[in-house]
Amino acid sequence: MNKPVPVTDWISDFDHTDPRWTENPYPIWDVLRAASPVVHTDRFRGVYMPTTYEAVKAIAYDTEHFSSRRIIVRNSRPPITQSAPPITSDPPEHKPAKQLLLPPFTPDAMKKLEPRVRAICNELIDQFIDDPNVDAAARYTKHIPVRAIAHMLGIPEQDGDLFIKWIHEILELGITDEETLMRAIEEMSHYFMGHIQARKSKPTDDLISTLMNARDANGQPLSDMHVLGSLRLLLIAGIDTTWSAIGASLWHLAKTPADRERLIAEPELMPTAIEEFLRAYSPVTMAREVMKETSISGCPIKPENMVLLSFPAANRDPAMFHDADKVLIDRKENRHAAFGLGIHRCVGSNLARMEMTVAIEEWLKRVPDFRLDPAGKVTWSEGTVRGPRQLPLLLGAAD
Amino acid sequence: MAGKLKIHVDPDKCQGHSRCKSLAPELFELDEYGNAHEIGDGTVPEGLEDKAWLAKSNCPELAIEITED
């Protein structure tokens, strides 16, 4: 695989996998937004990126011109053989597919899961609480979402490492390496088919069985392929997204002692703080495929291009948010788009919020003092989901 | 004296972010899919006006309408 040519002009030739973008995309987005509400690159076979909240919203709401059948910008556009409804569905298929998944993810359902997530957090903290330094991404934030979703699905929590490997291969390596992408999807499908088959003879009380027992709009049971697609979605969408969101929140608190101290002194600020971390450090950028010619915010949009639907960039738009580049943990009005806008609103948003809240609360209870380890380096994931993948921290009060 | 506030969630706009329910649980409830609607006829009891405005100003889909009698 040839290395991509480094970017010299962001406005006409942006590359969302460029190391500078991965490290700190915010100043780059400011440059793009100042240039145009929609920018274009010839890379990745042609990609538009809306840079303002308004343009992102217009595209998210427009399912006629923009399809979700491809939701990741990659080097290649392989034939569509594996779908993950409802995230890869357009109307009219989208709604019934989504309605099947919504009931298990309501706020009330999440309340029932919360004690298990609290226990998971504490089990993880127990393992490093006596260490003076810890990579919080590798030893804490990474394991919380994967164990929570495994618990919901009714599969062994210790299979989490396997899921993390597949997701890394699909979301990061798979952007440029089609062979790795296909093998990871294959392995994941094989794994879940085993769990589906096992439940046919021995039904269980978990999310896999719930999906297997669900009926579609015509009253028919879902095909194994539909169940498989939905499981694939829950895993891909539910793990490194929340890993990233929890990690970015901890990263912020590690480098901002005033916010950390305030959150400990005023725990009632936790809900606004979580929403602000979601806004300022939104992990997820989705994609759309242009199906018909149109225009967005006055910019022409042509078919055969993809769209990098950057909710994180929308959330930094100063036309929408005052002090958009500042993190204000008591921000009162916050219409952020971290979970998307329109019909594809993240099905797991209530799960993600609960996991973030619990993970930060339990951490602050047990580790009130911590800071970035100056001897270590924070690294960030590339591409569709952005968050800390190494987060070296020093625990305990500074000398 | 200002009239009573009335809230209404537009069911075509609501996408189930459930921000209103977490900010003003006295005013909103969720259906089995997590989509919100106002409790009762949407009349905001005295003392909860600020919460109604807060819910409206945090709805990402602009689905909440507030009218004054």
Among A99, A332, A341, select the one facing B33 at the smallest CB separation.
Answer: A99
**Contact residues, chain B to chain A, C-beta under 8 Å:** 15-18, 21-23, 30, 32-34, 54, 57-62
In the prediction, which pLDDT does A399 show? 65
| Under-70 pLDDT residues of chain A | 1-2, 399
Cβ separation of B33 and A102 shorter than 8 Å?
A: yes
Residue A271: its chain B contacts at CB < 8 A? 22-23
In this structure, the number of other CB atoms found within 10 A of the CB of residue A65 comes to 19
In this structure, the number of other CB atoms found within 10 A of the CB of residue A54 comes to 16
Q: How far, in Å, CA of A327 to CA of A282, rounded?
A: 12
Tokens 């949407």 belong to B42
Question: Is A9 in contact with A167 (CB distance < 8 Å)?
Answer: no
In the prediction, which pLDDT does A280 show? 98
In the prediction, which pLDDT does A1 show? 47
Q: Is A225 on the interface with B (CB under 8 A)?
A: no
Question: Is A53 in contact with A46 (CB distance < 8 Å)?
Answer: no
Interface probe, candidates B23, B29, B33, B57, chain A, greatest A C-beta count within 10 A: B33
Q: What value of ipTM does the predicted structure carry?
A: 0.96
In the prediction, which pLDDT does A111 show? 96
In the prediction, which pLDDT does A397 show? 83
3-state secondary structure of A192: helix
A219 vs B25, which has greater pLDDT?
Answer: B25
In the prediction, which pLDDT does B2 show? 62
In the prediction, which pLDDT does A2 show? 58
Q: Is A243 on the interface with B (CB under 8 A)?
A: no
Among B30, B58, B61, select the one facing A107 at the smallest CB separation.
Answer: B30
**What residues are paired with A48 via a beta bridge?**
A40, A307
Interface probe, candidates A54, A335, A344, A351, chain B, greatest B C-beta count within 10 A: A335
Phi, psi of A304 (to 5 degrees): 70, 10
- The tokens for A265 are 């002194």
Interface probe, candidates B12, B17, B23, chain A, greatest A C-beta count within 10 A: B17
Q: Is A337 on the interface with B (CB under 8 A)?
A: yes
Among A99, A103, A336, select the one facing B60 at the smallest CB separation.
Answer: A336
